[in-house]
Structure 1
Amino acid sequence: MLAEVDQDDASNDEKSAADLEAVFDVPVRLSVVLGRTRMPVAKLLKMDIGTVVELDRQVGEAIDIYVNDRLVARGEIVLVEGRLGVTMTEIIKAG
């Protein structure tokens, strides 16, 4: 038996893809968290150029990638033409 393709289903798929284009220009805030630390304000105020801040992550450990304060992926720092970048290694499923 042959399955019939419903014309409405096909047009709904196209309409959904076209509707998605409306959000392509919506700005979002992307944050990449290398690590975190806690320190008293007095220590923060004493920081100067070259001060080393110890973070809660190890070298080579995955970094967190947030979109609008929501964790969406993990990744690694990369160097591209002398600039720092991030490559995603894991997408976090919404839960």
Structure 2
Amino acid sequence: MSKANPVRDADEMFRESTDELGMAALREESVREGDHHDLVMSIPVEVQIVLGSAEMPVSELMALKRGSTVSLDRRIGEPVDIVVNGRRIATGEIIILEHDPSRFGVRLTGIGDAAK
């Protein structure tokens, strides 16, 4: 049984690693500027519509059952927050969709700084 040569093995591993890095750099260079835009635009984001919130002690939370009512901190007709990946980006108003009256939608009323 022959012993492995640690110096040769390390040199070989280094050569393989640098070859892989070189190939990765070539692949990176081959991506055109427009491709970056497409990549970014295809990233999924989570969009939430926040009607309001409520704060209560755990004891009240644990006492909730079917039919219980939770009062929110907003009134009917007040704007709702549109939150993307945890950040508020806009405000809007709840609407009923014309093409499907069984569904809600949100009409944007403020975007960016106008949403504050």
TM-score relative to the length of structure 2:
0.60
1:60 counterpart (69, 77, 86): 77
- 2-structure distance, mates of 1:53, 1:68: 25
Q: Which consecutive residues of structure 1, in runs of 5 or more, have no partner in the other structure?
A: 1-14
Q: Who is 2:44 aligned against?
A: 27
Bigger fraction of residues in helix: 2
Q: Which consecutive residues of structure 2, in runs of 5 or more, have no partner in the other structure?
A: 1-31
Q: CA deviation at 1:90?
A: 0.8
Identity value in percent: 39
SS of 1:44's partner is helix
Distance change in 2, residues 1:79/1:49 (3 Å): farther
Q: In angstroms, what is the RMSD of aligned CA positions?
A: 1.9
Bigger fraction of residues in strand: 1
Q: CA deviation at 1:61?
A: 0.2
Taking the TM superposition and a 5 Å limit, the aligned residue runs for 1:2-13 are none
- Higher relative CO (Cα under 8 Å, sequence separation at least 6) belongs to 1
- 2-structure distance, mates of 1:92, 1:54: 28
Q: How far does the alpha carbon of each residue in 1:6-58 deviate from its partner, in whole angstroms, 9 at most, with x for none?
A: xxxxxxxxx87664222222111111111111101111111122211111111
- 1-structure distance, mates of 2:67, 2:112: 34
- 1-structure distance, mates of 2:104, 2:111: 20
